[in-house]
Structure 1
C-alpha cells in the first residue's frame, strides 16, 4: 500500500472521505473544464491526470452495442421470473462483463443506463420489452435486485453505476418528445413515482435519466420533481443524465423555450447534470452553457453542483483509486457460469398459460412438428449485445428429442416477384470472397450489415424464390434462400446483405401496395418504391416497378404438410423486436399478425394436439379455445431454444408468472395517452373486466396447496405467514403472491394490490412456511384533500395465492389510521389539480418551473369534482386564479351553477394569471363541481366569507 506523499493533492488521498476529495478536485478545475464536464463525453484534464469519461453504457439485459456479450432474457422476461435472487445474479454477471469488456475497449462505460423502471401500464407501448411489470411493487423489487447486482457488494467501490430510465410517466412512443402525460397527484405518488422511489431508497442507484415526454405540460428534463422528490429519497449524490437529444428538444420540437441557452440553463437548474446531445460533439452544449453564463442565466456555483454529482459517481467507481479498486481488472466474460445463468434465466422466464388437456410435458418419444416464423429464430432487440452463442426453439428441440423425431416448416409464403418486362427479381449469389459467413457457417452480421460491396439485386428470366415474411400491419421482410435478408444501403441499392432486420432505422422492411394491375414494393426505411435499373435494383422516387406477386407455396400448405402425421404440433409465433413495436414505434393492436393466425388455424385443423409457444416482447390477445396448451416467454437471449425445449420436455417445471395483464381485446384498453390508471381503471389494480390472463398468472407441472394463514400487527408493520406444499410428483417452483385491498374505502382504491411475493423451490411433498413483514405504509394512499399520505382506519383483506385472481387463502385485518376530514377550503382553497374526479381535463404546468394547473383536454370544456369541502358557517364569495380566456362555472353537489367567472380580457399568455371574483353562498360540507369552458387554465379556487 503506497502512502500519499507531501505533494499528493487531497483528491488523490484515499484516507480522506469522498466529499472532501471532491471539494478539492472541484476547486482545481477551471471554469472551462467544468463546462466540459457537462457533456456526455467529458474530455480529459491532463494537467491533473484525469482521464476522459462518458456517461452511458446500455446494459438492459447484457452489455449492449459493444460487440459479443452474454445475452440474457429481455427485461420483461426477467420480470416474468418474479425471482429477485436470479435477477441480482444476472445484474452481477452483466456488471462483471462490463468491467471485462472495458479492460479490452475503453469505449465501454461503467455508468450503465439501466434498468428501465417505467411501468408497463399499457400493453401497446412500443418499449414494453424494456420494463419489468405493470405493478410498481414488482417493478421495484426486480429493479432493486438488478441494480444491486450491477453495483456489486463492496461497501466503497461500485462495479458499475446504474442509472434508472426513464423519469417519468413514459409509456408512449407516438409523439414521445411532444406529448404530455397528464398525471393526477394520486397516480403520480401511488403509481409512477413509487417504482423509482423504492429503487432509489434501496441504495444501489447512481441516478436517473429523464424521459423525452412532458408530464403535466412540462418537459421531464426541467421537471421540479427531480429536486422536490428524487433527491429527497437518499443522501447520496444522484447523477441525472439527459436522454439523447432531449436538451435540444426543449427548443426544437417542444418549443418550450425560445433559445437553447435558456433551455440548457433551465435543465441544469432543474437538476440535469450531464447532457447527452449531438453525439460525441460537445461544442454545441458547451457553447450553450457559456452563453447561459454570459446572460446571467447560470452562475458558476450551478455548474459546481452538477460537476460534483458527476465526480461522486466517478469516485465511487474507483477511478481515482485504481490500485484499491476491487473490481478492476476482471476476466469474467462469457464464462461457463454466465452461460449457465443465461439458460437458468431463460428457463425461469417461461410462463405456462394453459395446459387444459395435460398435453405438457411432452413424452420422450413424441413425434413433433414444429412450425412458425419464430421456430428457428433467436431474435435480438435494440438493446441486445451480439450473440456469442445462440439457441433457437428448433435447435433446442433437435437437441432434446432428436432431429429424427422433429419435422419443421417455417410457414412463410414462398414468392417470385415478376416485373412488367416479364423478368423476375434475382438475388446474386454471394461470392466466396465476400466472406458472408462466420467460422461456424452462420451469417455474420458484422460482415453483412450495410455493405455496399455485395452485388445489388438484378432481374433474370428465372428469378429467385424469396421467403415473404409477413409481420402484420402490412410490414414484411424478404429473405433469399441462403438466409440473407433484402436490405437497402446508403447508396439506395437493394441487396441481400443482412442476417436479420435491425438498426435504428430498419432497412429490411417493405410493404406491398396494390397499384394498377400489380404491386409497388415500398421500402419502409426510406419511404421509396423499388425500381429496376440497368445497374441493379434500387429504391427511387422515379420509375417505380410494378410487380406481379406469384405465390409458389403458401405458408399454410407447408404447415399442413408436416403437421398431420405428428403426435404434437408446436406453433412458435410472436414478434421481431425491431418490427411493429419498439423504441420510436408503438403497436396498434393486441392481435396476433394475420399471417401467424392463419398458420395457427392451419395447424389446429391438421392436428388437434397443437401447442402455441409465443415468443414476444408483448402480450397478445389470442383465441386459445382450440388450443390444449399455450406458453409465453419473452425473447430469451442466447438460451431461448434450449430453455423452451427443456420446459416442453418436463426437464424443468415452468414457473414464470405474467408481469402484466393480458387483455382479451383491444376494446379493453384505454387510449395510449390516458395515464390516469385510477380514473380509466387500468392495469390489474383497477381493471374490472375479464382479462385473457390475469396479472401473476402462470401454471406448473406440479400442484401446490396453501394453508395456515396467520397475521400479527406491530406499530409499523404487518407480519404475515402461510405455508405452501408441493402436492405434485415433481420438484417445481411456486410463486406465492400476497395481495391486499381496502374493504370499504372512501375513495377509489385498487381491487387488489401486490404486497409481497416469494419464488420457492419445493420437492414433492415438501412444505415451507413463508413469512412477510409488510410496512403499514403499504396500505396508505395519497389523500388530495390534505395533501399527503393517509391510511384509512378499518378492515383490509389479505389474499394469498398463485396469481392476482387465483386466491387460495384470505383473511381480514383491522388497521389503525387517520379518519377522513372534510377539505379545509376556507383556509387553503382548492388547488386545481387536487381533484377527486375529472372529465375531459388535462393537467398542465402552472409555470415553467413549478406547480400545476388544469385545462380542458380538447380546449372546449371539462369538469372537476372536489368531494367533502367544508364551508363552515358559510361563504359569500368565490375566486378563481386563471390564465387565458374562457369561463369557470361553479356549482355544489351537481346542482345549478351558482357562479360563472371569466376574465374581463384574455390574459397575455398561459402563465399570466389573474384572479376573478364573484358572489356565491354556501355552508356546511358540500361537493364542489367546477366546469371549465374554453381554453383557459385554472390554477386555484378560493372561498371567503
Structure 2
C-alpha cells in the first residue's frame, strides 16, 4: 500500500481521505467510530484512540509539568502567555505519544487533546468553575484561541496536537447534568454562548468539539440541531471532528430516555453530527454492534458513516500518522517533560494568575525584614484537581517563603484542631499503625492517636494522622491513614463527624455513605453498616485547638498570611456543584482569629472559584486570590507577596457579595437573571476585570471615531506611581437607546507595561457591528444604532474614561406576522416559559408553559388588516388550557384542547376581539400546561 494515493503526502488531505475511505470495508468503518479504533493491518493503519486530557498540563498519564488551573490562566488576561502554555503542554503530549503503549493498550497516547474548556463561567456555584477561563465570551474566546493555537503548533500542514473544544453547549451545572435542560433564549445563545466556540473554531486552530452531557432547549446536546445549524456552518466548521463525552451516547437511552433503544440513539447522534463515540471504555464491540444494527434497520446509511469516518481520518492525517518521515513533531524526546523551560513558564504563568483584590495602606509587598506567620493548611500544601497532571514536585508557599527569608523568620500552623477518639466498644483510643491501618486499641493518647480534622463546610471533613497521611477507605472497607491527598473520582477521604444527643461522635464515610463500626476482636475500623444506630459511638477529646495556635503565632509575628480556599475534590467539582459562596466556617474563624491577634494580616485565597469574603474585604488590609497554581503555585505566590513580581492578574469573573441575589443554577437566562458583569444591577464585592498592582495608573480622555466600519478608541495611560507595573486596559461599550436589555460588554483589552512616570498611547479598533445585538425577529445580527457609551476601564466596575458615539438611527424593520408565522421561541421577553423540543424526529424548538407563561413579541407587522390568529399548539393533558392574545389592551382567548401528546401538534384559528392593522407589540399568555410552536395573523 506504499504507493496508494492515501499514502502520498503531496496530495490534498481530502483526496487522501477519499482514497482511504474507498478502501475500507463497512465493518472496518464502523469499528473506527469508537474512541478505541482497532488497527486495520491490511491498509497499514495502526490502532488509534481519541482523547488525551490536557486542560492545564498532561493529565492522568504520569509526571508532567503542572500549570495553573484554567481559571487561573484566565486571570492572566494574557493570550501570549496562554499560547506559550499550550505549546509546552502539546510538546509534552508529543513526548508521551512517543512512549510505547502501556501493557494492555494497543494504541499510543492520543494526539487528539480534550482541551480547552470554553463554557463561560456564567454562575459562580458551578462545580467545574476551575475548568473555564472567564464569564465573558470575548475573554473566553481569545484565551481559548490562544491555548488552542499553542496546542496546534505553527506548521502549515501538520498539527502538533489536535485541540478539542469542550463542552457544546449551555453546560454550567453538575446537578442533574445528564437530564437537566438548559434554556437558551436566542439572544443568550447568540450573544453569550456561541461566541465562546465560534472564535476558536474560526481561528482554524480547532480540530474537534465535544458536546455536553446536558439537554439544550429540550433536546440532548449530542443530538442538538445546533451541531449542524451553527457549528458546521462556521468557517473551518465542516471538517471538525465531533467526539462524544464519556458514556453520553448510551445516556441518550439510559439516563435521558430520549430514544427507545441504543441503535436508535446512536443513529440519531451520528446523523446529528457526532463522529467519534466515547462509550463502554476501551471496548469498541458494543458500539460496533449498535451501528451494525442501525445500518441493518435503515436508521443510518453508509453515507452517514462515511462522513464521520472521513473527519476521523482527516484528524489522523493532519497529526502526521501517515507521514512520520515528514511530521516535524515526530520523535519528540522525553527530555521536554518538565524541562527547565517549562518549569520557568509554569512559575511565570502562576505569577501572572495572582490577583490583588485589596491592599489598604500598601501592606503589600511585604518588607524584606521582620517575621512572618503563615496560617492555614493550604499554606504548606499544593493541591491537584481532577484534570491535573501528576506533580513532579510541590513548592508550597511556606517552602518558598522560608527559602527566601530563612526558616527562622517564618513560622507556620495549619490551624486545625487535633482530636483523639476513644471507642466505647473497646475502650481503646483510635490509632494508626506503621502500615496506616486504624484500630481502636490504644490504652492512651500518644502521637499516633492524635488526628488533625479539617472541616470543609457542609459536613464534609478530612482527617489526617500524625504523619500527614489522610484517612481513607481501602478496597475491603477498612479505614487506613495511607492517602497522600483526596484524589479519586469517588473521593474516599471525606467523612462526616456527627455529634449525637448522647455527646458521642459517630463517623460516616461519605464516599460509600456507610457508617463506621469497630470490628470485634481486632478493633479495626470498617465501613460495614448503613445504619446510624449501628455506628460506633466515639468519645471525642480535643487535644489542641487550632485557633489558639493561630492566635499565638500571629501575635508573635510582624505580619500574618492566612491561606484559605478549597480542595478541588471536595464541595464543588465535576459531578458536584457548590451550594453557597461562603468560606468554610473553620477557615473563616481562623482568619478572624489571626486578624484579632495581628492587624497586619493578609488573606490569600487559593481556589478554583470565587468566595463571598465580605468580612475580609472590610477588615483585612490585604486580600489576594489565585487559582490552584500547579507545581509552582507556592513559589509564584511568594514572589508576589515579597514584591519579586508585581501582581498583574485580573478577575475573570464577578465576585458576588454574601446574600447577593443569584438566580438558580439551572436558570441560564443571564438577561432576565441579571447575571454576570454584563447585566448585574447591584455592586458586587469585586467586579469582573478587577485587580490591583503595586503602582497606580492614570487614564487620559477617551477619544472615539469611526473609521471604515470600525470604532477606533484611543487614550493615554500613565504610570503615576514609583514602581514599574502592568495595567490591563479594558474597553467596554453599552447601547444607551436600545429597546432591548442592553449589556455592558467587553470588546477589547490590552496589557500595557509602563515604567514609573511613563505614558503610552493605547488604541483599540473594534468592528462596528460588534456593538450590535441578535435580532430575534429576523434571525440575524442587528447593526448598532443610536448613542453608544464607550469606556476605557480598569474593571467592569471602574470605568475610568468614557465617551459617547452617536450612530445613525437605523430603520427598524418590523417583525412579519401577517400571512406568515412567528416562532414562539423567538420572543423578546418571557416569564414562566421553558424552551422545549418540538419534535423527537425532526428537532426544532417550541415554548412550554406549565401553569402561567407570558411571551412578548415586539413590533409585529399585522399588515393592512388582521382579523384572525393562527396558533400551532400541543397539549397532553385533558382539562382547561388557553392562549390569551393581547393587542392594544384587547384580549382574545383561544381554548386549547388535548392533542394527545406534548409533540402532537395541531393548528387552531380564532377571530380577534377586534381587527388590527399596522405594527403592534403582541403579548401571549399561556394558561395551563400546553406548548406553543408558532403563531401568525391572517385577514
TM-score range, shorter chain: over 0.9
**Alpha carbons of structure 1 residues 322 and 303: separation in structure 2 relative to 1, 3 Å:** same
1:267-286 mapped onto 2 (5 Å cutoff): 267-286=269-288
Cα distance in 2 for partners of 1:278, 1:477 equals 33
Cα distance in 2 for partners of 1:424, 1:526 equals 26
Q: Secondary structure at the match of 2:432?
A: coil
Match of 2:65 among 66, 70, 80: 70
| Greater displacement, 287-296 / 721-730 | 721-730
- 8 Å contact kept, 2:52–2:113: yes
String of CA shifts for 1:750-772, please: whole Å, max 9, x gaps: 0x210100112222222222222
String of CA shifts for 1:203-255, please: whole Å, max 9, x gaps: 10001100000000000000111111001112451000100011111000111
1:113-124 mapped onto 2 (5 Å cutoff): 113-124=114-125
Matching residue of 2:566 = 575
Length-normalised TM-score, structure 2: 0.95
- 8 Å contact kept, 1:422–1:461: no
Answering whether residue 297 of structure 2 is matched by residue 295 of structure 1, we say yes
Matching residue of 1:61 = 56
String of CA shifts for 1:776-830, please: whole Å, max 9, x gaps: 2211211112221102322211100211122221111223474222222104332
Cα distance, 1:42 vs structure 2: 0.5
Answering whether residue 349 of structure 2 is matched by residue 334 of structure 1, we say no
**Gapped runs of 5+ residues in structure 2?**
102-107
Cα distance in 1 for partners of 2:680, 2:888 equals 27
Answering whether residue 141 of structure 2 is matched by residue 155 of structure 1, we say no
String of CA shifts for 1:900-929, please: whole Å, max 9, x gaps: 2313xx223222100111111323322211
Matching residue of 1:870 = 861
Matching residue of 1:31 = 26
Matching residue of 1:462 = 444
Answering whether residue 776 of structure 2 is matched by residue 784 of structure 1, we say yes
Cα distance, 1:552 vs structure 2: 1.2
Cα distance in 1 for partners of 2:821, 2:853 equals 20
Q: Secondary structure at the match of 2:855?
A: strand
- 8 Å contact kept, 1:877–1:944: yes
Match of 2:814 among 787, 811, 822: 822
Answering whether residue 693 of structure 2 is matched by residue 700 of structure 1, we say yes
> Following TM superposition, where does structure 1 have runs of at least 4 consecutive aligned residues deviating by more than 6 angstroms?
none
Matching residue of 1:438 = none
- 8 Å contact kept, 2:125–2:580: yes
Cα distance, 1:570 vs structure 2: 0.6
- 8 Å contact kept, 2:884–2:926: no
- 8 Å contact kept, 1:652–1:732: no
Answering whether residue 370 of structure 2 is matched by residue 366 of structure 1, we say yes
Matching residue of 1:855 = 848
Cα distance in 2 for partners of 1:387, 1:757 equals 33
Cα distance in 1 for partners of 2:163, 2:779 equals 32
Answering whether residue 9 of structure 2 is matched by residue 18 of structure 1, we say no
Q: Secondary structure at the match of 1:598?
A: helix
**Gapped runs of 5+ residues in structure 1?**
432-453
Answering whether residue 636 of structure 2 is matched by residue 654 of structure 1, we say no
- 8 Å contact kept, 1:471–1:595: yes
String of CA shifts for 1:493-512, please: whole Å, max 9, x gaps: 10111000111000000001
Matching residue of 1:737 = 730
- 8 Å contact kept, 1:127–1:581: yes
Matching residue of 1:181 = 182
Count the aligned residue pairs.
Answer: 913
| Greater displacement, 524-533 / 861-870 | 861-870
Cα distance in 1 for partners of 2:893, 2:747 equals 46
- 8 Å contact kept, 1:888–1:930: no
- 8 Å contact kept, 1:416–1:549: yes
String of CA shifts for 1:23-75, please: whole Å, max 9, x gaps: 01000111110000111001111111111111110000000000100000000
Cα distance in 2 for partners of 1:285, 1:81 equals 42
Q: Secondary structure at the match of 1:267?
A: helix
| Greater displacement, 648-657 / 789-798 | 789-798
Answering whether residue 577 of structure 2 is matched by residue 586 of structure 1, we say yes
Matching residue of 1:480 = 465
Cα distance, 1:93 vs structure 2: 0.2
Matching residue of 1:537 = 525
Cα distance in 2 for partners of 1:428, 1:850 equals 59
Cα distance in 1 for partners of 2:14, 2:807 equals 43
Matching residue of 2:105 = none
**Alpha carbons of structure 1 residues 896 and 546: separation in structure 2 relative to 1, 3 Å:** farther
Cα distance, 1:474 vs structure 2: 0.7
Q: Secondary structure at the match of 1:678?
A: helix
**Alpha carbons of structure 1 residues 457 and 244: separation in structure 2 relative to 1, 3 Å:** farther
Matching residue of 1:727 = 720
Cα distance in 2 for partners of 1:572, 1:893 equals 60
**Alpha carbons of structure 1 residues 879 and 539: separation in structure 2 relative to 1, 3 Å:** same
Cα distance in 1 for partners of 2:176, 2:290 equals 26
String of CA shifts for 1:694-733, please: whole Å, max 9, x gaps: 0000000011122253333233222222222222222221
- 8 Å contact kept, 2:425–2:518: no
**Alpha carbons of structure 1 residues 379 and 414: separation in structure 2 relative to 1, 3 Å:** same
Matching residue of 2:481 = 496
**Alpha carbons of structure 1 residues 894 and 275: separation in structure 2 relative to 1, 3 Å:** farther
Q: Secondary structure at the match of 1:61?
A: coil
**Alpha carbons of structure 1 residues 579 and 894: separation in structure 2 relative to 1, 3 Å:** farther
Cα distance in 2 for partners of 1:374, 1:98 equals 30
- 8 Å contact kept, 2:426–2:440: no
Q: Secondary structure at the match of 2:482?
A: strand
**Alpha carbons of structure 1 residues 938 and 565: separation in structure 2 relative to 1, 3 Å:** same
**Alpha carbons of structure 1 residues 128 and 425: separation in structure 2 relative to 1, 3 Å:** farther
- 8 Å contact kept, 1:790–1:817: no
Answering whether residue 377 of structure 2 is matched by residue 385 of structure 1, we say no
Match of 1:528 among 507, 514, 537: 514
Q: Secondary structure at the match of 1:115?
A: coil
1:706-785 mapped onto 2 (5 Å cutoff): 706-707=699-700, 709-750=702-743, 752-785=744-777
**Alpha carbons of structure 1 residues 763 and 785: separation in structure 2 relative to 1, 3 Å:** same
Cα distance in 1 for partners of 2:710, 2:66 equals 40
Cα distance, 1:417 vs structure 2: 1.4
Matching residue of 1:608 = 599
Cα distance in 1 for partners of 2:837, 2:659 equals 32
**Alpha carbons of structure 1 residues 314 and 513: separation in structure 2 relative to 1, 3 Å:** same
Answering whether residue 34 of structure 2 is matched by residue 46 of structure 1, we say no
- 8 Å contact kept, 2:702–2:791: no
Answering whether residue 927 of structure 2 is matched by residue 942 of structure 1, we say no
Cα distance in 2 for partners of 1:755, 1:430 equals 60
Cα distance, 1:105 vs structure 2: 4.3
Matching residue of 1:880 = 871
Cα distance in 2 for partners of 1:926, 1:719 equals 37
Cα distance in 2 for partners of 1:705, 1:389 equals 41
Q: Secondary structure at the match of 1:407?
A: strand
Matching residue of 2:491 = 506
Answering whether residue 587 of structure 2 is matched by residue 596 of structure 1, we say yes
Q: Secondary structure at the match of 1:668?
A: coil
Answering whether residue 199 of structure 2 is matched by residue 198 of structure 1, we say yes
Cα distance in 2 for partners of 1:817, 1:84 equals 36
Cα distance in 2 for partners of 1:379, 1:707 equals 43
| Greater displacement, 601-610 / 175-184 | 601-610
Match of 1:400 among 381, 397, 404: 404
Cα distance in 2 for partners of 1:749, 1:334 equals 47
Match of 1:310 among 309, 312, 322: 312
Cα distance, 1:456 vs structure 2: 4.6
**Alpha carbons of structure 1 residues 269 and 666: separation in structure 2 relative to 1, 3 Å:** farther
Match of 1:353 among 357, 378, 384: 357
CA RMSD of aligned residues (A): 1.5
Q: Secondary structure at the match of 2:853?
A: strand
Cα distance, 1:942 vs structure 2: 1.6
Cα distance, 1:551 vs structure 2: 1.4
Cα distance in 2 for partners of 1:708, 1:527 equals 61
Cα distance in 2 for partners of 1:190, 1:817 equals 21
Cα distance in 2 for partners of 1:790, 1:483 equals 60
Cα distance in 2 for partners of 1:591, 1:105 equals 47
Cα distance, 1:941 vs structure 2: 1.2
Cα distance in 2 for partners of 1:121, 1:589 equals 15
Q: Secondary structure at the match of 1:248?
A: helix
- 8 Å contact kept, 1:862–1:932: yes
| Greater displacement, 280-289 / 577-586 | 280-289
Cα distance, 1:548 vs structure 2: 2.1
Answering whether residue 135 of structure 2 is matched by residue 134 of structure 1, we say yes
Answering whether residue 412 of structure 2 is matched by residue 430 of structure 1, we say no
Cα distance in 2 for partners of 1:221, 1:662 equals 32
